[in-house]
Structure 1
Amino acid sequence: MATENTAATGKVRLQYMVRDPVSADDGRDLLEGWDYKATEAMLDGPVCRRVAVVDIDPDTGAVNAGAPFVPPKKGAKLGRYRIKDPTRPHAADFQQVSVFGAVMKTMAMFEEADVLGRPLRWAFDGEQLLVVPRAGRMANAFYHRDSRSLQFFFFEATVSGADTTVYTCLSPDIVAHETTHAILDGIAPDLYDATSPQALGLHEAIADLSAVIFAIRTRRLRLEVLRLSRGDLRNAGAFNEIANHFGAAVAGDARPLRDLNSGVSFSGQGRRPASHDPHDISEVLSGALYLLLVKEHDDIKRAIAAGAGGLEEEEGGQAAGPGDEELYQASGRALAIAGNKFKRIVFRGLDYLPPGEISFADYGRALIAADTASNPDDDDARAFIRKEFVRRGIVADAGELVSPPPTLALPADLDLDLLVRSDWSAYQFAEKHREALMIPPNVPFDVRPRLSVVKTVYRSTGEAETHECLFKVAWRENRTVDQGGGFFDEISIIYGSTLVIDRDTGEVRALLSTSPRHPSQQAEATAANNAMRLAYVADCFDKGLLEIGSPDVQIQNRTLRLRAMGQMLHMRGH
């Protein structure tokens, strides 16, 4: 019988694998713990209301017994999951506990009050994400919406001259990356059906940056990397290099899966992406934002060294522990603070994303708008982003990242509570403001679930809160294509708009849209993105990844409609 903790506010010590690759040491430093405040029963597995580890034997198909939950003893504060031998990372219970701890910590990063400020929702029906730590033998790991699961695989490889088994569920980079795919699918579900490599590349870039933030928030890894890199994030391989062990095992040499400090660019400055593949072009976006982290770290480090006051402490408002300053001094504290600021900038912009096929420029506009709403008086990070996006060729001009002030004036008697909870009111509102929301005439649209959100912000005046209503509407339009092998003449594309309303004043904070009718959508950039889309779709057909007549590839009235393109990411790479 499963053991459970019925304490509604009990804390549970969750653990996850710190090192990648696995150390040959005695194992004392293989795991790092963090405290999760449980508001639900914690069961053997590990299993909770939102995440369940399902350990299926890849040879027999049988479900292995899960790691047991141990409630806190009388007088103790923390429950925990028992690992028989914490020095054996290849053991089932070690992997069950580690992958669960890493998934839960990744989710917690997004749910914090200064990021999304609310529990996550999945893109599928139901509350529970399934996690399969050993789904089978191959060099892969992926999120799969239809089965509501994260699936991690294992394979034999030679690394540094030694034969070993690589378990992707033990790589904190990979677990954070794949968990973020599931999280982002819940926030922006249209990306899963996108046809544009930039929209799919956004998935990869955010997932890689999430792995970076996860690494920064792993204390022992942070300390070790700063010691080895002498405090220079340009050299900090554990932060800018994604999935070192996996990349080395697959490629046969000492190189990571992706390097965020590689300078990949759409412009003539730096190396161009190797192809239109979403993984390749994702480095343009993730590389631009990684440099923001480097800048913030350098700036804060100099401020600390100069004795500046007023700097927030490290993650969760917790001060550094005894002896930390001796170990990593200004650089370590600066990284904790910079990582928190970076997390807020990168993740909060996701809420402002309009529905539809997002370009990197669309994400940049959402990021700028969200950060402006949170920190209107501090433009330093936004100025860097604008400059770097131009340098990387994401936009031609910095002005493209600033959406025009919305002209939509809301009625003074608009009931925002009713708008949030009533679908009827929401559709009436969208129909009334169809033109302002850039919905084409006579085109059916879909109003997404509205969100009323409260977020913690940090300004020069101190800690504050923002109160917002997020209203999103989506529709489909057809675009003519000059290829299709005689089978189709058009392709169906999802577009949409996001309206951000200040709940305190009733004023519109931002109106962002992927519609070609929005002033921010530059004709040249749109044409370039369309060309990239067509090249990518043609390549998928050529490689046999898309097959006309399959459930996800349908043609009706000579119009191509694709589904689940996001699921193909794991077929093309990681």
Structure 2
Amino acid sequence: MTIAANNVPVVPAPERRRLRTFAFDPMSTRLSGRFVTLDVPFESDLTPGPCGELVQVVDFDATGNQWYQPIDLDDVRVLAQDGLRPMESDPRTHQQIVYAVAMSVIERFERFVGRRFRWRAERQLRLVPHAFEGRNAFFDPGRRAVLFGYYRADRHDPGPNLPGQVIFTCLSSDIVAHEVTHAIVHRIRPYFMEPTNLDVLAWHEAFADLVALFHHFVHRDVVVRAVTTTAGDIGRSDALLELAKEFGHSTGRGAALRSVLGTLATPERFEAATEPHERGACFVAAVFDAYLDRYQASIADLLRIATGGTGVLPPGRLHPDLVHRVADEAVKNADRLLGMVVRAFDYLPVVDVTFGDVVRAIVTADRALFPDDSGNLRGTLVEAMRCRGIYPESVTSLADAALSWPVPAGDLNLNDPRAPVDLLPNWILSATHDLDVTGSQGSQSTVVPPADDDDVTPLAAPPVVAETQSIYAQAQRWAKLHAYELGLDPSPSLRIALRGIHVAYRRAADGQPRPEVVLQLTQRRRDLEDQTLDEHRRPVFRAGTTVIAGVDGRVKFIVAKPLPFLDPGPPRQAPGDQGVTRRHHEAGEVRLRALRRWIDLVEESDALSAWTQEPALNRLDFAALHGDEAGRADS
């Protein structure tokens, strides 16, 4: 019997790929006897490496001067068993793990921000599992790569590891998630690499830690086990609330690298913290204070039902059905809280971010989607921040209305007939196309930044260069026309650069999408910089503004970080100005003084300042920060 050619059913291409990893590093897997599996998008054009659309694993060991055989995740033998079984001795599984964790982190980020993610100029992020020998792993913006080190465990205090055992940082899911998050932040806010105040790098570290910690909740079986072993009190679960256990123990710390367990909710620690990881840890602890409060509130009814109304659990294990319902709440609340923080990125300033800015951005972004805050999650988070000394300095109260970014004065619109920004049909339609995650990408990049503030030609994929340049030119003309209202200087000698533009669709409480257009504008102020230093070596002073608008062009919020205007008293203020120009100028003067004080403080605190002409501010980077952190274990 023969089958007609037109009667053969089409086998659909898979949408997901399952890949095994350690839980959450080799030490933890050995002690628990468990591996975990990540579910990531199936890339049909994935090549050995793995090398896909967003991530390229390049496995060259610079110390040993050797290449490792790349894994082919499309090999049927690999596909059939959810990837290779992770082994410390098999570099192919190292490649598999960094790819799986990176893709999982990127996918969650896309889901929360409401748009497809792309690297600058459509390039890939390189992941180098065995980049060097050393107790470090870091994101290198210049190489556009995350470099993972390997080292020997401490010979005197290796924790649950062999003395001198080789430890691979690429096998820690926490470290991979943390470093990939640094790369994501650099992609969407590149000037957060310029440490213009105490909080900038601390926020980088805090956000990377938050993403890594909340990534634990992706593994539902881990959450179920934590609920089971703690009888629902997951605040006692080190599996969920500690980062990089193997790294911490193997470097002689005697504990995980970082933990949110057992930290007192007082403002003194935050006020005294100057090291970025330590300062960022205060923010992370506050977020988890709010998470645990909300989690306990969400399972209270389940506990009352299970205990006949008392809410007091008897000794012993929870019923399996109750365990799974409680685990559902733990995962749901983790998603909700991380989503609040991730979505806030579009509402952050372009430069010079502070933790106070972060609090305001979180409240503004969440209020736009969940105006009622029915579970009082915003209120709980703001109070947790306040208890740890984290709040904006320039607000009148901690109410939602006071914390939200102010609505611009006057009728500011991207469709101003004097300098319209034509977002249709290309940008909005392209973003709509991107909503279908199973289909091809839209024709426009979500953000196509110029190479530098002085580069008038933006980077873009060749097919859309003309269209991209057109939208950039339109946006720059619009920004120049409304410069005073945006906190930027309209002087002809000072160029305004469009750092990025994208359209995002975020789902609100009513289940409907809320489309928004986000512009990032910057302006370098060479006239305010230290003229005694070489232009390419001196600390850069930038004004910056984030503009959030509806797809109808109406500007909803302006998040400005101004610097003093060359002409603080323009003869003609914009219609509806209502003193905005003067307020921006005065805020710019305050910010300029703070910038100069900060630069002087960093210079005075750096022991190398007397021996080099390189400004101390320019020597702060992730390699140095993470190297210092690893080095503290040896002291």
Given the two structures, how large is their TM-score scaled by the length of structure 1? Answer: 0.81
> As a proportion of its length, which structure holds more helix?
2
Give the deviation of 1:8 after TM superposition.
7.0
* Residue in structure 1 matched with residue 370 of structure 2 by the alignment: 375
SS in 1 for 2:389: coil
8 Å contact 1:141–1:150 — kept in the other structure? yes
Alignment-mate amino acid for residue 116 of structure 1? V
Amino acid at match of 2:300: R
260, 271, 275: which one aligns with 1:277: 275
Map 1:328-477 onto structure 2 (within 5 A). Answer: 328-378=323-373, 380-395=376-391, 396=393, 398-399=397-398, 401-411=403-413, 416-417=422-423, 422-442=471-491, 443-457=494-508, 459=509, 462-477=510-525
Deviates more, 1:176-185 or 1:93-102: 93-102
1:483-494 equivalence runs, <5 A: 492-494=540-542
For residues 335 and 382 of structure 2, the distance between their equivalents in structure 1, rounded to whole angstroms, comes to 20
Structure 2 gap segments, 5+ residues each: 1-10, 307-317, 428-467, 564-582, 631-635
Which residue does 1:96 correspond to in 2? 95
How far does the alpha carbon of each residue in 1:382-407 deviate from its partner, in whole angstroms, 9 at most, with x for none?
Answer: 22233233332233564463322221
Q: How far apart in 2 are the matches of 1:277 and 1:288?
A: 17
* Distance in 2, Cα, partners of 1:493 & 1:394: 26
Give the CA deviation at 1:528. Answer: 7.5
Measure the CA separation in 1 of the matches of 2:586 and 2:302. Answer: 39
**Partner of residue 4, structure 2:** none
Distance in structure 2 (CA, Å) of the matches to 1:278 and 1:336: 28
Amino acid at match of 1:468: E
Paired residues of 1:150 and 1:178 also in contact (CA < 8 A):
yes
Partner Cα separation in structure 2 for residue 548 and residue 199 of structure 1: 24
Equivalent position to 1:297, from 292, 295, 305: 295
Alpha-carbon spacing, 1:465–1:545, altered in 2? closer, same or farther (3 Å):
farther
How many pairs are equivalent? 527
CA contact (8 A) 1:496 1:515 kept: yes
Asked if 1:260 corresponds to 2:260, the answer is: yes
Report the counterpart of residue 317 of structure 1 in structure 2: none
- Residue matched to 2:450: none
Rounded Cα–Cα distance in structure 1 between residues aligned with 2:24 and 2:57:
21
- Aligned residue number for residue 225 of structure 2: 224
> Which residue does the alignment assign to 1:109?
108
Counterpart code for 2:294: E
C-alpha deviation, 1:197, in angstroms: 2.9
Whether the 8 Å CA contact 1:55–1:96 is kept in 2: the answer is: yes
Q: How far, CA to CA, are the matches of 1:451 and 1:180 in structure 2?
A: 20
Structure 2 distance, partners of 1:437, 1:348, is 22
* Matched-pair contact (CA < 8 Å) for 1:404–1:520: no
3-state SS of the aligned residue for 2:517? strand
State the secondary structure of the residue aligned to 2:215: helix
Q: Is the 8 A contact 2:16 2:42 kept in 1?
A: yes
Aligned match of 1:312: none
How many Å separate the matches in 1 of 2:278 and 2:599? 14
Counterpart residue number, 2:70: 66
Q: Could you say which residue in structure 2 is the equivalent of 1:33? A: 38
Give the direction of change, closer, same or farther, for the CA distance of 1:45–1:521 in structure 2 (3 Å limit).
Answer: same
Compute the displacement of 1:10 (Å): 4.6
- Does residue 1:201 correspond to 2:205, yes or no? no
**Residue identity in the other structure for 2:225:** E
Q: How does 1:14-93 map to 2 (within 5 A)?
A: 14-23=19-28, 25=30, 29-38=34-43, 40-70=44-74, 82-83=83-84, 86=85, 88-93=87-92
Q: Which amino acid aligns with 1:508?
A: V
Equivalent residue number for residue 457 of structure 2: none
Q: Kindly, what percent of the aligned residue pairs are identical?
A: 23
Which of the pair has more CA radius of gyration? Answer: 2
1:118 aligned to 115, 119, 124, which one?
115
Q: How many Å separate the matches in 1 of 2:27 and 2:617? A: 44
Question: Would the aligned equivalents of 2:267 and 2:387 in 1 still touch at CA under 8 Å?
Answer: yes
Asked if 1:501 is matched to 2:549, the reply is yes
Structure 2: distance between partners of 1:372 and 1:216: 25
Counterpart of 1:69, as a letter, is L
